[in-house]
Structure 1
Amino acid sequence: MATKIGIAGITGKLGRLLARSLLRHHDTLVRGYCRNPSKAPLWLTANPAATMHQGDALDVVAIRSFVRGLDVVVCAYLGDPELMIDGQKALIDACEAESVPRYVASDWTLDYTKLKLGELFPKDPMIHVKTYLDQKTNVKGVHILVGSFMDPQFSPLFGQWDPSTQTLRHWGTGDEIWEGTSYENAADFTAAVCRDKEASGVLRLLGDRKSFNQIAESFARVYGIQPKVESLGTLQELHDKMHAIRAPAPHELFQYMFLFFAYYWLNGQTFVGPDLDNARFPDVKPVTWEDFFRTHSLEQLTEAYTNL
């Protein structure tokens, strides 16, 4: 019997990658939910194993119709707190009402279970949703944690790679661990979790964990250049800077949000490893930092995220 898997937010980056990974398996049916199915690629809409449902994130009737009869629902939303909290609660309530056995929350980056509300504010919705999901009786929560996504790390968002001067930049000493998983690797892990009907609770799945200094060595080995290395400051200086920028203009979110992510990614508080659940899914090969470099040319690094 085919496994029926629903993906809410299927037209987004992770949603598409997850659908592609799932559709490699001939015993899997994919049902997508989104506001505008016309944004879905032809390879998805033309696949007889995939169907699309249209609706808003808070459309209770449409959501109930979407989840009905599914074995698991995955939320691939990415957006503001209303979408990430209220949108997920609507999905969870529908799963509970329709007796969908499992719900995969939109988590992935960093181990937010080790954070207090307000510390890393973009992860607050995940804390709220996990608490809400834990209270349900018919649907089991699934929380997949993968460290940071590799793909945006070398984009202008984080400022850690300057192609004009061939400079790699880092906060801290350079010995801090960088835990990372590529988007495609995260999609493959998620697909494996969805297909394993016994998989529930918190699952820590990781592509690689290396120090910045080790990653710089891989960078030089793959690209055949010796990048300049520059320290942006200590972790304490990063902490002070992100709060100094946020305090006078909290509405200017993109001026400081990625500094907060960098701080809690590097300081050890949100580490996913070293104890991982990778061995549970032996068919998924972890993609290392060096593997990631080998599949992206030097010119493609800054655009790896946007080109997904």
Structure 2
Amino acid sequence: MKKIILVAGATGNLGKRICSELITRNAEVRAIVRTTADPEKIAALEKIGVKVIEADLANIDDIAKAYKGADCVVSALAGLGDVIIDLQKRLVDAAIKAEVPRFIPSDFCTDYNDLVPGENRNFDLRRQFKSYLDSTSIKASSIFNGAFADILKYNTPILNLKDKSISYWGEKSDWKLDFTTLDNTAAFTAEVALDDKAPRNLQIASFQISPKMIWEDVKKATGEEFRMQQLSTLEDFAQFIKKQRTDNPAGELELYAKWQQAQYMYSMFSTHHTQLANQLYDNLNWTPSLEYIKSFVAR
């Protein structure tokens, strides 16, 4: 008998990939979407075999109707407090009302459990929701993928193709950073959604790579030697972020405020995954760092 997995946030980049991976694993996939959802995105989901259910996401009873018979709810939502806390609370309450046994929250980020509260706004929102989730009766599994590998393409300080530089903070040129591709994250999430015995916290990474190792991979991929540089101490970086946040209060209402991006960089150099669950499911193929870097860096 097919398992029924319901995905919230299925119209997003990660959500659609999770749906696709679930379908390849013979699951019945349902996507719960707002009544105002983009028709083209709905059509794209239906084309790959997803059953799309429009619902009033402000109404717990309406959400619960969509959940009927589901084995697990996967949240791939992105947003601020109104989404990560308020909407996800309604998703959980509806799941409990509909007697859905399992819930996977939108914790697709660095494992924030060992980080200091207040250092990353978006992690603080997830931490607040986690406290609520763990107070309920539903069984939960959080998937921590570090940073999405895509950020390596976007000329961040960690790898700037335009300036041909690789940067780091503190004495951390050898510090390993956690990166996971969207496809690897989606495949692992599908496995967890179908695994009734999945643990509460799961750390994954397609590859763990230090700034020095990035330099080596870029040289192999391009034949060029990029400039390695320390930008500042971690302490100075933290103070810079605090000032940047104070000077830009409008950013509190922006999902990717400039200072929030800096907070993510700071967290990557403050903690990393030490207990990878990559081998939990033996049918997954993890993308190596050199292969990924070669995919967007031309020789």
Alignment-derived partner of residue 304 in structure 1: none
Q: How many residues align?
A: 292
Q: TM-score, normalised by structure 2?
A: 0.90
Pair 1:149-2:148 in alignment:
yes
Cα-to-partner distance string for 1:87-134 (whole Å, 9 max, x where unaligned) = 100000011111111000000211111234322221112112211111
SS of aligned partner of 2:57: coil
CA distance in 1: counterparts of 2:210 and 2:47, whole angstroms: 43
Alignment-derived partner of residue 185 in structure 1: 184
SS of aligned partner of 2:242: helix
SS of aligned partner of 1:291: helix
- Give aligned-pair identity as a percent: 25
Superposition pairs for residues 123-162 of structure 1, below 5 Å? 123-137=123-137, 139-156=138-155, 158-162=156-160
Alignment-derived partner of residue 70 in structure 1: 70
- For the 8 Å contact 2:234–2:266, the answer to whether it is kept is yes
* AA at the equivalent of 2:184: N
CA distance in 2: counterparts of 1:295 and 1:163, whole angstroms: 13
CA distance in 2: counterparts of 1:202 and 1:63, whole angstroms: 26
Please state how far the C-alpha of 1:207 moved relative to its aligned partner.
1.4
Pair 1:272-2:277 in alignment:
no
CA distance in 1: counterparts of 2:134 and 2:167, whole angstroms: 40
SS of aligned partner of 1:247: helix
CA distance in 2: counterparts of 1:212 and 1:46, whole angstroms: 41
Alpha carbon RMSD of aligned pairs, Å? 2.0
Please state how far the C-alpha of 1:59 moved relative to its aligned partner.
2.9
Pair 1:167-2:170 in alignment:
no
Pair 1:197-2:196 in alignment:
yes
Superposition pairs for residues 276-291 of structure 1, below 5 Å? 276-291=276-291
Alignment-derived partner of residue 60 in structure 1: 60
Please state how far the C-alpha of 1:55 moved relative to its aligned partner.
2.8
CA distance in 2: counterparts of 1:123 and 1:56, whole angstroms: 27
* AA at the equivalent of 2:32: Y
CA distance in 1: counterparts of 2:251 and 2:200, whole angstroms: 35
Cα-to-partner distance string for 1:25-67 (whole Å, 9 max, x where unaligned) = 2x211101122151426553124x4200113432323311221
Superposition pairs for residues 69-148 of structure 1, below 5 Å? 69-137=69-137, 139-148=138-147
* AA at the equivalent of 1:171: W
Please state how far the C-alpha of 1:216 moved relative to its aligned partner.
1.4
CA distance in 2: counterparts of 1:4 and 1:240, whole angstroms: 47
SS of aligned partner of 2:24: coil
Cα-to-partner distance string for 1:57-89 (whole Å, 9 max, x where unaligned) = 323233112211101000010011111101100
Please state how far the C-alpha of 1:231 moved relative to its aligned partner.
2.6
Cα-to-partner distance string for 1:271-308 (whole Å, 9 max, x where unaligned) = 222x2222211111222322311333449xxxxxxxxx
Alignment-derived partner of residue 259 in structure 2: 256
Following TM superposition, where does structure 1 have runs of at least 4 consecutive aligned residues deviating by more than 6 angstroms?
Answer: none
- For the 8 Å contact 1:140–1:200, the answer to whether it is kept is no
CA distance in 2: counterparts of 1:171 and 1:177, whole angstroms: 12
